[in-house]
A = this chain, B = another copy of it.
Amino acid sequence: MAKDKKLVEAITSMEEDFTQWYTDVVKKAELMDYSSIKGCMIFKPNGYAIWENIQKQLDARFKETGVENVYMPMFIPESLLEKEKDHVEGFAPEVAWVTQGGLETLQERLCVRPTSETLFCDLYSKIVQSYRDLPKVYNQWCSVVRWEKTTRPFLRSSEFLWQEGHTVHATAEEAEERTIQMLNVYADFCEEVLAIPMVKGRKTDKEKFAGAEATYTIEALMHDGKALQSGTSHNFGDGFAKAFDIQYTDKENKLQYVHQTSWGVSTRLIGALIMVHGDDSGLVLPPKVAPTQVMVVPIQQQKEGVLDQANALKERLRKEFRTKLDDSEKSPGWKFAEQEMRGIPTRIELGPKDIEANQCVIVRRDTREKIVVSLEEAETKLAEVLETMQTDMLERAKKFLAEHVSDARTYEEFQDAVENKPGFIRAMWCGNLACEEKIKEDTTATSRCMPFEQEQISDVCVCCGKPAKKLVYWGKAY
């Protein structure tokens, strides 16, 4: 009992210190660990298994839209990185450089990919000749490196895992369509699988990707009221095509530049899962993405028959759910605390009295509701509970998001909201960089996006009072 308490006490509460709570959950749920290499993390089994589930389900959604996976080299020659001006300016300050290969000094430095636009452009310039070769809709799952000074598990590290899609199209319209299509794939996935509602919109020029014509984003709201950019989709127009000379002959036999897109999500999504759904007992995982959906915990397992029955139940449930049995020698209380810390959606308690009554007890991780169910009906009821939990988690997150959006029509309202109302602030903007910069300097809030669903909540810019052009979601962000 003392031990059980220790495990639970070891977590800082969210209210007390959200940052510390986050670090505690990552550590205690054994998702990730620091490595000996500055800024690089170790994905431990519990953390990596979440990424595997994200990858599997997102990849299936990609493939339904015609995406083909490839793998490109992890190195980019310096001269290739430099071909697109904005792009190299955006990334060069934060890349790692390989200067020696084997025992020799390289003639040209190679950077470890921070992103692979340049490599894909180089490939496309070789394999795209005719309109018949278009479109190409390639994607890769890999790790990338951006030399970061300050790091936080899943949110910011020198190396992280992601996918990057890179496509080439014959027309500007087709490229724009693909850009929006992939943003929607991300948003739907996050809502349906991760139970995280997203605000979808376009980034301002200040916040867009280095080299893009337009960047679209999905923005999630964390429990502390800060925003997390969770995925982006870029329309490159023909900028990269011109820099890399990617041309095709159209049906009239004329040379045309291709139009390109790229889009990516990363292991940041795991950070979002933690900060949207977690509570003071640890992680809470939506059933659809949880590596383990059910933990069977025997009660008084030393009594004859209990372990056998618990094991038999686990074997039965395994056929339909990702199920584990905790038959270790820890106390049930300790096991409960561990299962809760790891965010496993349900546990099933089974003791001598349950067996006698031909029943078991399902306990939901999110509400802690206990549901007594006959052993025969375990599968049916469990399926129901998991489905309800998935829906409830999304509803709760939607409600939280709705309750944490405030409108500001004056600069005073804006500043007050940043101070006192954690969450997104909706406010009109004139479209000038100067106002965006002033707002950031005064309040630390940044423009998160110009939402697709525009409204005219006031006629003037919240900052300068000039005529308003766009409704913008603002907020402090990770």
* Residues of chain A whose beta carbon lies under 8 Å from any beta carbon of chain B: 33, 35-37, 40-45, 48-49, 51-52, 68-77, 80, 93-103, 109-110, 112, 119, 122-123, 126-127, 138, 142-143, 145, 147, 158-159, 161
Contacts and interface: CB of A to CB of B under 8 A. Distances in A.
A2 to B, nearest CB: 18
B69 A42 contact: no
Nearest to A329: B132
Given A37-B77, A74-B145, A95-B102, 16 more contacts: A33-B123, A33-B126, A35-B72, A35-B73, A36-B77, A37-B76, A42-B70, A42-B71, A42-B73, A42-B123, A45-B68, A48-B68, A49-B68, A49-B69, A102-B147, A142-B143
B73 A44 contact: no
A24 B35 CA distance: 43
A98 B101 contact: no
Contacts of A103: 93
Given A96-B98, A98-B98, A123-B33, A44 B72 contact: no
A94 B102 CA distance: 4
13 contacts: A35-B72, A35-B122, A37-B77, A42-B123, A45-B69, A48-B69, A48-B71, A73-B159, A74-B74, A74-B143, A96-B102, A98-B112, A112-B112
Nearest to A40: B73
Nearest to A67: B45
B112 A37 contact: no
B36 A122 contact: yes
A42 to B, nearest CB: 6
Nearest to A118: B36
A159 B74 contact: yes
A297 to B, nearest CB: 18
A293 to B, nearest CB: 16
Nearest to A71: B43
A110 B70 CA distance: 27
A127 to B, nearest CB: 8
Contacts of A44: 70
Contacts of A110: 37, 96
Which one of A36, A41, A142 has the highest number of Cβ atoms from chain B below 10 Å of its Cβ?
A36
Contact of A40 (B36, B37, B75, B143): B75
Contacts of A127: 33
Contacts of A76: 37
A475 to B, nearest CB: 28
A72 B73 CA distance: 19
Given A93-B102, A96-B98, A37 B138 contact: no
Which one of A41, A70, A127 has the highest number of Cβ atoms from chain B below 10 Å of its Cβ?
A70
A138 B45 contact: yes
A37 B147 contact: no
A83 to B, nearest CB: 11
A41 B93 CA distance: 26
